[in-house]
Chains A and B, each alone.
Chain A
């Protein structure tokens, strides 16, 4: 028993030490990434309606260790403002797009958010720092399971991962204050609209697979009426997995 306990302490200690060490090593890169996100927001101001990303979101972007969510051989590139491959034909999104989509959700601390397309779990980790609960769905089994382990290991206790087809949402956990789809969809799935609370919003890239999609915000007013707004063109992998711009 004591031996097991010692081993657990040793393993946990090593992981924490390694995490802290890598975090220090990546701090400068992370700061550069934040500067680039700021600049991208400035250049995209004509379509965003403002020239900055919410400070709450930027603080979280600075806090979440992105290098934990990329394959080991790409850790040095983790904080570049570009998408990166995570295997299975899927990607981890460009940091600017993660920040932008998070910002567009206009979350509040007590919100319950649904994410479609877990991928590596990075977007869920960012959201978990801003809301009460994140439910996230991934269709590729290996990705979903590794994201669940990763998020748990990194202490994101308010994130729940499910392996399923995200098109149908998560009926048992509905309704949601907002829904974020981080994969290209041909349209807004009707089940997601039904699972969205009145006053809520969906942020979703709509368009063909492996083509340029349009990032859209769908709002549902108190009466349930829907309106859409185009934000900007993006490029995501299909709704069978996680996305990257």
Chain B
């Protein structure tokens, strides 16, 4: 019997109610901190920092396993003082590292040009990593110390994490994300006190000085955290920072700020806001006075500060007005309208009824109350109805028919290299667009406007999406249902319910010309007569040709050469589907070399590099994980006591880390389709997986079978259920799509329950196999699991973007199958 094991058995430090509460609080706190950090960095910095936080958190947990491999002997010998110190360090590091990180002078725009900025970013990442490292170390140490109670400890950890997810979503409605660190610190301080209370020897002479000093300093520090302002520094290049600067010289005024799980809302008033919704050069009038509506510090919508539609005359010159010029007194559906500008547009053209569908309930509430007067009561006027629901969910449920379906969610300038490409968009998929088509009246049309690009990609992808949706809906010749025109700013694409006839074409061409727009496509267009040198807004075209690349691409998409064209075009423009709903992902590896060669200094501007950022995240995560997790662990190979079970143990926990993360990430992404709101989706998926895994962890212990048999049984179940979930869950959840949020939330959570239940068997059963093994195998397992979790998070998104969610689920099933194989080898080696 080795010494730590002996010390544990001899120690009176056993798992009890108080230290269980402490573990639960620590597990909840780390998740609340993670979600708060993601939200706060989305506001103060950029959305892609959220991905960074996920990787950093996993890295912290992975590195803790490595640390435990080396330090566990000492820590187990000194468990009472070691565990207390670790909880205290976690407590201090939560607000401490956040405050220090916020004071680093990072200049995100100059990372590419400055080595100093790269070093600052590394320091920034390191500071954010520290609290997760301490949290991972204390949880891992508790798991190792109470190795006889692995299922209970693991279950408490999962329950705590699940509770943390729910708490953070609720808390986001009441607490600013910037204040999360201090509240999390208070929770961890509570965990520290509970930990002290759980072990009476902390009050004996041996530990009393440590206990008192930590209690006193903890209380004092907590008080300081609450009186010190933890507000974040908004990145100088964000729209909010600009408006704040203008406010200092009386050029803008902040009217309100609201916090919520879907983002922070800020509204500013300024005479220096001049949005016109792509109005063309014919619009020789000034736009009305307006307000800027910011979500997470970036412009999300414009509010015209007007009293009636007469004051919105600038909108008559927009490309969006084209559809309204073709249909009299239309019944209009605005999908994703935020500030009400498109409501004014519809009103100017005499819409008979306007239905606005908008997913953010907090915004709808603001327009009913605080912003009602400032926005001319635009959403509350007779003939206007507001539905608070995600647009893609609404079009799947409504039985109404509309004359104009205006997809406002997709409206905007091209992101260009946008990290938006990593976001799922279930509105712009073949399936959702086919549903929109089914919602059109006989004279109806879908209208979508995107900023112009060179080379074109958004508009070509919209064309391919519309064509694919039409085919999905059984239309044989999609080209007869499409119209495209552009001004100097944007391309307007129209999809009509009925094939367009010569009368419609004639009206379309006439109205487009009135707006100073060039017709890029209509059925029967001739390059010679219709695309001549008379372009008002000249766009780049094929060498020697007098027509634009946009026209060229649209004609190719509508021809029999579509697939060949998709293969040749430098950007990914094939239509997105519900299985891979990434409309803004345009990146293609094969184009990278030619972009650098052709555009040299400008290649980055030409390349849509959202996917590349993901790859960079993956590579950086891999490098950091290698440095902090794997390399130190492999150093153990030089020791004499390399155990034969080491490889199979590593493989087993590697497979579990990968498989678990794949299922978790895909579940979050797929739930967005059913629940609409990404935050609800993440909460439902994470809570279901963590809680049911926790239940599985507790139940598996009761099963009268060896750990290997339990692993084999659970592994087989996971493989079958993963495949079944991949195939059936969408169909099952579609059956409840007509019900309210509560029912859909419960159904979504329940759909993951069986799979999560058996996933929860695998980790504790594996650890129980190691119970009698040499001491370093358990931290090795914890470290390897952390390492693969770090890599699996970005990897699953990459796989989903390139091959779809089904492929990620198949990969997860393979991982679990492989884990069962590794477990059999592990048992043999351990014997």
Question: A interface vs B, CB < 8 Å?
Answer: 36, 39-40, 43-44, 46-47, 77, 80-85, 88-89, 91, 94, 96, 139-141, 165, 167, 186-191, 193-194, 206-214, 216, 218, 226-230, 232-235, 237-238, 240-241, 244-245
Contact = CB atoms under 8 A, between A and B. Distances in A.
B77 interface: no
A194 B107 CA distance: 38
A230 B237 contact: no
A47 B540 contact: yes
Contacts of A245: 605
Given A82-B113, A165-B272, A212-B417, A139 B539 contact: no
B237 A210 contact: yes
A228 to B, nearest CB: 4
A187 B279 contact: yes
Given A194-B284, A233-B416, A89 B237 contact: yes
A85 B109 contact: yes
Contacts of A189: 274
Given A85-B107, A139-B272, A208-B412, A228 B281 contact: yes
Contacts of A226: 281, 516, 536
Contacts of A186: 274-276, 413, 489
B596 to A, nearest CB: 10
A88 B245 contact: yes
A232 B602 CA distance: 9
B743 interface: no
Given A186-B275, A207-B414, A211-B414, A89 B452 contact: no
B537 A227 contact: yes
Contacts of B589: none
A36 B602 CA distance: 12
B241 interface: yes
Q: 3 closest Cβ contacts across the A-B interface?
A: A212-B416, A208-B413, A89-B236
B538 A187 contact: no
B613 to A, nearest CB: 15
Contacts of A228: 281, 488, 536-538
A107 B100 CA distance: 50
B239 interface: yes
A232 B538 contact: no
27 contacts: A36-B601, A81-B601, A84-B110, A89-B237, A89-B238, A89-B241, A94-B601, A139-B246, A141-B249, A165-B251, A167-B274, A187-B274, A187-B276, A190-B286, A207-B416, A208-B413, A208-B414, A208-B451, A209-B299, A211-B414, A218-B488, A228-B281, A229-B538, A230-B454, A232-B605, A233-B602, A238-B239
B272 A240 contact: yes
B278 interface: yes
A188 B281 contact: yes
B536 A85 contact: no
B283 A207 contact: no
A81 B602 CA distance: 11
Interface string B576-620: 000000000000000000000011111001100000000000000
A38 to B, nearest CB: 12
Chain B contact residues, majority secondary structure: loop
Given A81-B601, A139-B246, A212-B605, A88 B452 contact: no
Nearest to B413: A208
Given A206-B489, A211-B415, A228-B536, A47 B601 contact: no
A165 B452 contact: no
A127 B489 CA distance: 27
Given A140-B249, A234-B602, A245-B605, 20 more contacts: A165-B251, A186-B276, A187-B489, A190-B283, A209-B299, A211-B416, A212-B416, A213-B416, A227-B537, A228-B281, A228-B537, A229-B537, A230-B452, A230-B454, A230-B539, A232-B454, A233-B602, A233-B606, A235-B605, A240-B245
B552 to A, nearest CB: 15
B394 to A, nearest CB: 26
Contacts of B285: 190
B281 A44 contact: no
Contacts of A81: 601
A100 to B, nearest CB: 10
Interface in B201-244: 236-239, 241-242
A226 B606 CA distance: 27
Contacts of A240: 242, 245-246, 272
Contacts of A233: 416, 453-454, 602, 605-606
B600 A193 contact: no
Nearest to A94: B601
Contact of B281 (A89, A210, A218): A218
A139 B243 CA distance: 12
B601 A167 contact: no
Interface string B499-541: 0000000000000000010000000000000000000111110
A186 B600 CA distance: 27
Given A40-B601, A44-B602, A227-B536, A190 B109 contact: no
A229 to B, nearest CB: 4
Contacts of B236: 88-89
A245 B281 CA distance: 25
A214 B452 contact: yes
A47 B279 CA distance: 25
B621 to A, nearest CB: 26
Contacts of A218: 281, 488
Contacts of A244: 109
A87 to B, nearest CB: 8
A148 B274 CA distance: 26
Contact of A89 (B245, B412, B536, B602): B245
Contacts of A140: 245, 249
Contacts of B539: 230
A245 B602 CA distance: 9
Interface in B434-457: 451-454
Interface in B414-443: 414-418
Nearest to B243: A240
A193 B281 CA distance: 9
B477 interface: no
Contacts of A46: 540, 543, 598
Contacts of A230: 452, 454, 537-540
B271 interface: yes
B237 A207 contact: no
B488 A206 contact: yes
Given A89-B242, A165-B272, A226-B281, A235 B416 contact: yes
Interface in B66-118: 107, 109-110, 113
A39 B597 CA distance: 12
B113 A80 contact: yes
Given A206-B488, A230-B540, A43 B276 contact: no
A207 B605 contact: no
A59 to B, nearest CB: 21
Contacts of B272: 139, 165, 167, 240
Nearest to A42: B600
A211 B249 contact: no
A177 to B, nearest CB: 19
A190 B287 CA distance: 10
A218 B487 CA distance: 13
A234 to B, nearest CB: 7
